Amino acid sequence: MVSAYFEAFVSLLGEMAPYLLLGFFIAGILHVFVPRRIYTGYLAGSGPRSVVLAALFGIPLPLCSCGVIPTAMSMRRAGASRAATVSFLISTPQTGVDSIAATAALLGGPFAVLRPVAAFVTALAGGMLVGAFDREENAAGGAAAAEPMRPERSFAGKLLAALRYGFVDMIQDIGRWLTLGLLIAAAITAFLPDDCFVWLNDYPLADMLFVLLLSVPMYLCATGSIPIAAALMLKGLSPGAALVLLMAGPATNAAAMMVVGNVLGRRTLLLYLGAIVAGAVGFGLLTDYLLPASWFAQVQVSEAAACCRDAAPWWKTLSGAVLVSLLGIATWLKYRKTKNDRKMQKTFKVGGMMCNHCKHNVERALALVPGVASSNADPARGVVLVEGVASDEAIVAAIRQAGYECSGAE
C-alpha cells in the first residue's frame, strides 16, 4: 500500500511539474511587466463593459482565493463598480495561467478550454446579476491610489523580479495547497476502489451536489484541485462533477464569503454564491449530457493511477525534482528570520494577511506613509515590521485602509 501510494504521488508530480513550472514563469512575467494601473483603470465604470473586462482580466491572473480578496477590495476602493468587483472575484481564483497549463497536463485539452470558458461565463452572469440588483456606482469613491515610486529597473532586473515572483512568491502562496492536493489525489488513487463513485452516475445531480457540499466551504486552490478532480474521475466520478469541483472549490471558501458579505453586503454575497453554484452545476450538466464523452475519456493521469508501469520521460522526472527543490527553497525563505526582521523598530499585528499578495498590499500601503523608511510584512506570523519615524496612528490607519485589521504596535 505504501509503495502504491508513493508511486502514484511521484507519477502525479511528474505529470504536473513541467506545466506548473511554465505557469509560474508566465505568472511572474504578468506580475512584473503588466502595470497594475492597467487592471484598475478599465474597471472604473459600472456598465457591462467593466464586468466583461473584469472577468477577462481575472482569468489569466494567478491569484488564489485568499490573494484575490484584498486585490479586489483595493480595486473597489479605487472606483471599480460592485458588479465588476464580483466578476473579478468569481473568474480570478477559478483559473490562472499555471492552473490552465496543469489542467491540460492532467485532464486534457477539452477540460483546459472548458474551464476558463465556464469561469468567464459564470463571472459575467454574477457581475450582471449584481449590476441589475445594485445600480449604485462607485460607492467606494475616490481616485486610484498612486503606486509608490520605485527605482527604474533594467530589463534584466525586471526579469529577475519576475523569476522571484513566479518561483518564490507564487510557490509560497500555493505550494502548501498544491502539495496537499497531490497528497490527497495520491491517496484517492492508491486506496479507493476503481468503481466507488460509479453509483452516483445513476443520479444526474447527486454527484454534483455531493461535490458542491464538500467544496463550497473548503479552500481549494485552482491548481491543487486538479489532481483531486483527476483522481476522483478515475474512481468513477463523472466529468461534469469533476468540473463542479474545479469551479466551486477555488472560487469559494468560508473566509472569502465572510469578506464579501462584510464589504459588499449580504445581497451581493448571495448573488455571488448563486452565480457560482448555478454556473458550476450548469456547466457540469452541459459536460455530462451535451458534450462528446470521448473528449473526457482519456484523463492523462490515468497512467499515474496505474502506478505508472512505464518509466516517466527524463524531462518529467527532472521537472518534478526541480519543483520539489523550489518548494523546499520557498518554504525555507518564507519561515526563516532575516536580518532585516531584527532591524525593524516596531512590530504591528495584522489580521487577514494570508499570502504574498496580502504582503505586497500592506507594504504598498505603508510605502505611501510619510516617515516609513521600510516595511516587511510576514503573512505566516501575521505581523508587519516597520522601520521609520511615522506615528503608530498613521501606520495603523494605512493598514486598515488597505483592508486589514490592526490595533497598534506590539
User: The domain spanning residue 403 has which CATH number?
Assistant: 3.30.70.100
Could you tell me if residue 333 is inside a domain?
Answer: no
Residue where a domain terminates, one of 292, 321, 350: 321
Same domain, 116 and 188: yes
Q: What's the pLDDT at 90?
A: 92
Could you tell me if residue 153 is inside a domain?
Answer: yes
Could you tell me if residue 327 is inside a domain?
Answer: no
Could you tell me if residue 334 is inside a domain?
Answer: no
| pTM for the model | 0.67
Phi, psi of 290 (to 5 degrees): -115, -25
Could you tell me if residue 347 is inside a domain?
Answer: yes
- 289: buried, middle or exposed (CB in 10 Å: 19+, 13-18, 0-12)? exposed
**Nine-digit cell at 1?**
500500500
CB 109 within 8 A of CB 45: no
Same domain, 246 and 373: no
Residue where a domain terminates, one of 289, 321, 353: 321
Same domain, 361 and 245: no
Could you tell me if residue 331 is inside a domain?
Answer: no
Q: What's the pLDDT at 283?
A: 95
Same domain, 211 and 263: yes
Same domain, 88 and 223: yes
Q: What's the pLDDT at 203?
A: 74
Same domain, 266 and 351: no
CB 58 within 8 A of CB 88: yes
Same domain, 311 and 375: no
Q: In what order do the strands lie in the sheet with 372-378?
A: 372-378, 383-388, 346-351, 405-409
Same domain, 114 and 55: yes
Give every CB contact of residue 151 below 8 A, 6+ residues apart in sequence.
Answer: none
Query: Which domain covers residue 239, as residue numbers?
Result: 2-321
Q: What's the pLDDT at 126?
A: 93
Q: What's the CA gap between 250 and 252, in Å, rounded?
A: 6
| Complete DSSP assignment for 90-156 | HHHHH--HHHHHHHHHHH-HHHHHHHHHHHHHHHHHHHHHHHHH-----TT-SPPPPPPP-----HH
Residue where a domain terminates, one of 294, 321, 348: 321
Buried b (16+ CB within 10 A) or exposed e, 9-37: bbbbbbbbbbbbbbbbbbbbbbbbeeebe
Neighbours of 155 (CB within 10 A): 8
Q: What's the CA gap between 184 and 349, in Å, rounded?
A: 33
Q: What's the pLDDT at 352?
A: 81
Q: What's the pLDDT at 46?
A: 60
Could you tell me if residue 316 is inside a domain?
Answer: yes
Q: What's the pLDDT at 144?
A: 42
Same domain, 371 and 225: no
Same domain, 358 and 243: no
Could you tell me if residue 170 is inside a domain?
Answer: yes
Same domain, 296 and 178: yes
Q: What's the CA gap between 120 and 59, in Å, rounded?
A: 7
Crossing angle of helices 254-264 and 266-289, rounded to 10°: 130
Q: What's the CA gap between 173 and 402, in Å, rounded?
A: 19
Q: What's the domain count of the chain? A: 2
Report pLDDT digits (tens) over 185-244: 778 777 877 666 667 777 768 888 888 887 877 667 788 788 888 888 887 888 999 999
**Nine-digit cell at 394?**
498613521
Q: What's the pLDDT at 244?
A: 93
**Mean pLDDT per 10-residue segment, the chain (410 residues):** 80 78 80 70 73 89 69 69 88 86 85 93 93 60 44 81 85 77 76 71 79 77 82 84 90 73 82 93 92 75 44 79 91 65 71 81 86 85 86 88 81
349 Rama class: left (phi>0) / alpha (psi -120 to 50) / beta:
beta
Same domain, 317 and 344: no
